[in-house]
Amino acid sequence: MSQFTDKGTEGSPRPTLSQFIDLPGVYPAGRLDRDSEGLMVLTSDGALQARIAHPKFKAPKTYWAQVEGIVTTEALAALRNGITLKDGPTRPAQAKTITSPDIWPRNPPIRVRKSIPDSWLELTITEGRNRQVRRMTAHVGLPTLRLIRVRIGDWSLDDLQPGMWRET
């Protein structure tokens, strides 16, 4: 969970940042949903937290998305032009296909269908609606199987592994 405490269902504790980060006074700038992985920026600077998390500042966030299906030029064009979701149109995204990145194994593993291929996209968005990347890829017929945030503004995941952190 991209928070320090879990107020979820009693009796089913989920891992939180407090199990990995022992620094008082820092808070996540932005969130990752429960099924997503990758970069979290932690800060004690409220103004910085707002510049990263608030949509009016348009902080770019880059994700690698493993999707079900083969990415078409039409799907990329739709993502690049912005698409209309139930909560309104998205801003245009930067979108391109990428080769399968050299990353850690997912636990639990993604579902695999032998009859349906998967592919990888790199998407950069400048807003951060609830499950936005997942909803965007689903809208263009490419359900997300795995989602990893690799960059927020000038900060990037680089060689950090799950549970690791560094100060900058």
Catalytic residue ranges: 33
User: If residue 139 lies in a helix (H) or strand (E), which one and from where to where?
Assistant: helix 132-139
**Tokens 């009859």 map to which residue?**
115
For the chain, report the end-to-end CA distance as a whole number of angstroms.
22
Instruction: Give residue 147's Cα distance to chain centre.
Output: 5
Report yes or no: 42 and 17 within 8 Å, Cβ to Cβ.
Answer: yes
Query: Is 91 within 8 Å of 125 (Cβ atoms)?
Result: yes
What Rg do the C-alpha atoms of the chain give, in angstroms? 16
